[in-house]
């Protein structure tokens, strides 16, 4: 079963999320070759692998269960990373969406800790809850990735536990192996509080830069 995103792009003050395309290849190749020290558990291509990476993402998107975005830094218009909706789930016996995961996320080192990740997740959750009508948004990461776990918690997502041997590992030397995945979620009843907190954080960040 597929779902319709229903919107070509999502735009904030720091970042614009555009449907991923080959037009983003040059920027993403450069972004991927900045400081890679934070990518120990994250699947981030090398610059020379970008064409293959984009082709694989676009092929996944053809199945209707994966919607990848380029993250464009509005300050300079450059693509500085990727993120995606995926694994849409529907109400039993129906065609209406009830839950979706946000994942496949990475950012260039220069875009980390700038508010871009926070605003990207705000835009994606806002669209998921308020336009797509989901009741749950999922996040998951390698259980060993403390940096990623802290970032997800700062979004206001609730830790739900660790699923053992759940997802393909992206850690070096672990090709073909499964990792333990730390699971998080935001549900519809929590969304107004989470949204308000994220907006206040972004406003404070903007004030501190003024």
Mean pLDDT of the chain: 93
| CA-wise closest residue to 150 among 109, 198, 184 | 184
Rounded-to-integer distance, Cα 116 and Cα 119, Å = 5
Name the DSSP letter for residue 22. Answer: G
State yes or no: pLDDT of 1 exceeds 50: no
* Cα atoms in the 13 Å half-sphere on the side-chain side of 97: 24
Predicted confidence band at 204 (pLDDT cuts at 50, 70, 90)?
Answer: confident
State yes or no: pLDDT of 162 exceeds 50: yes
Q: Token pair of 88, please?
A: 């849409």
How buried is 62 (Cβ within 10 angstroms: 0-12 exposed, 13-18 middle, 19+ buried)? exposed
Output the pLDDT for position 4. Answer: 58
State yes or no: pLDDT of 206 exceeds 70: yes
The answer to whether 112 and 150 have CB atoms below 8 angstroms apart is no
Give alpha helix (H) positions in 44-144.
50-61, 116-127
| Residue that is written with structure tokens 């590992």 in the block | 169
Predicted confidence band at 95 (pLDDT cuts at 50, 70, 90)?
Answer: confident
The answer to whether 65 and 17 have CB atoms below 8 angstroms apart is no
Sheet holding 78-90, edge to edge: 10-11, 15-19, 66-73, 78-90, 97-107, 136-142, 178-187, 158-168
What percent of the chain has pLDDT above 70? 95
* Greater pLDDT, 205 or 4: 205
State yes or no: pLDDT of 16 exceeds 90: yes
Name the DSSP letter for residue 38. Answer: T
Taking residues 175-191, what's their average pLDDT?
Answer: 97
Predicted confidence band at 172 (pLDDT cuts at 50, 70, 90)?
Answer: confident
pTM of the predicted protein model? 0.93
């Amino acid at each position: 079963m597929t779902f319709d995103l229903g919107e070509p792009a999502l735009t904030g003050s720091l970042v614009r999320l555009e449907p991923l395309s080959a037009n983003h290849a040059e920027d993403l190749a450069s972004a991927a070759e900045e400081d890679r020290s934070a990518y120990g558990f994250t699947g981030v291509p090398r610059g020379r692998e970008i064409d293959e990476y984009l082709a694989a993402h676009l092929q996944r998107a053809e199945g209707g269960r994966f919607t990848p975005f380029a993250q464009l830094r509005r300050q300079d218009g450059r693509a500085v990373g990727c993120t995606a909706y995926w694994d849409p789930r529907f109400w039993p016996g129906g065609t209406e969406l009830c839950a979706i995961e946000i994942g496949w996320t990475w950012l260039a080192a220069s875009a980390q800790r700038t508010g871009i990740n926070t605003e990207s997740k705000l835009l994606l959750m806002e669209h998921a809850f308020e336009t797509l009508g989901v009741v749950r948004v999922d996040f998951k990461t390698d259980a060993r990735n403390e940096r990623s776990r802290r970032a997800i918690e700062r979004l206001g997502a609730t830790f739900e536990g660790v699923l053992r041997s759940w997802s393909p590992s992206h850690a070096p030397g672990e090709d073909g192996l499964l990792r333990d995945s730390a699971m998080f979620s935001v549900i519809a009843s929590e969304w107004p509080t989470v949204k308000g907190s994220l907006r206040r954080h972004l406003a404070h960040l903007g004030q501190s830069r003024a």
